[in-house]
Amino acid sequence: MSASIWRSLEEFPTGSGTAAEWQRYVGAAWPAWQRGFLEQLSKPAAAVYCPRECGCAHRVVHHDDGRIVAVCECDPWNCDNIKLTAAEVVEWEFNRTRLARAVGRAFELERREQDLGLPWTQQLATFAATAVPVVLTIQRERQEFRQVVAELASRWHDGFILFTPTSRFVDGRVHELLSHARAKFFDLESHVSLLPDGTLHAPQRAGELFASFVTKQDAAVGENEARSAFALLQKLELDAPLKAPSALTVFRLYCVDGFSADRVARKCRCGKATVIRRLQFIEERTGVKPEQFRAMSGHLQQVDDDLNASGAREIYRRGLVE
């Protein structure tokens, strides 16, 4: 999709407008953008953008006979009245929370929403065993953006992850603030794409993109621990199976595939509480926090591939369990 869809969030004057106004910014991405992040307001637009670019917003007039026209208010008058349909005066407002949740889902982050008391800024999730805050901010001026970063840096000295629509406000001063706070910046323009159904796709997993936030304790979990965990969970599934979903299934989805607990629950058609219990069970039996396994998902994927290879599953089960 065009980069303009993300820049529009930093340039749209009010954050709400008619379909025609939004399409000026997002172009062909309009259907997906509308489906994913816009809400219809109850009141129709009071004015519309002039399609002839005369420089004014045309006032919307509703006549008793049902006609709707847009009236030029330039002085001197410049354009004829424009006939409109009811659909053309529907006002669509951008929903920041929807975008924040879409970002969290794209990177399979554990949702933890918090209003930070800063303009157009919210915490959307956490990452890794150390619960690094993940924040989204949308600003329209360089100075306002810098002030938000400064405030975040003063609150969190041990690091945070910051998402913004584009990188155009990230200057030397901002880099300095982020560096002192051990924080990292990621722009949506470079790291996600908007799909036709209104969802976001992230080519890189969170574990890869945010690797610098994996602590030494997280990184200490290596391939041997991964193999032992797989073998132990396989034996438990054979000897004392739990009700679906099994601990091994949850381990694969949550730790290997990097799915959030919410998505694991949806995929397994169970409650999130059940997934949490399975994760607690995994920690009790392996002695390792599931978040630490997630931090080395690359090792886990390789081990899982090995175990799924012809004959390998039985070899590992005998060699590592017995």
pLDDT in tens, 76-124: 777 888 899 999 999 999 999 999 999 999 998 888 899 999 999 999 9
Among 27-31, 43-47, 127-131, 262-266, name the one with the lowest average pLDDT: 127-131
The CA R_g of the chain, rounded to the nearest whole Å, is: 25
- Phi and psi for 93 in degrees, rounded to 5? -110, 135
Q: What is the mean pLDDT of the chain?
A: 84
- Reply yes or no on whether the pLDDT at 240 is more than 80: no
Q: Specify the pLDDT at position 129.
A: 61
Residues 291-316 pLDDT 10s? 777 766 656 666 666 666 544 444 44
- Reply yes or no on whether the pLDDT at 318 is more than 50: no
- Reply yes or no on whether the pLDDT at 54 is more than 70: no
Greatest distance between any 2 Cα atoms in the chain: 90
Domains of the chain: 4-94 (no CATH), 96-207 (no CATH), 217-321 (1.10.10)
CB 281 within 8 A of CB 245: no
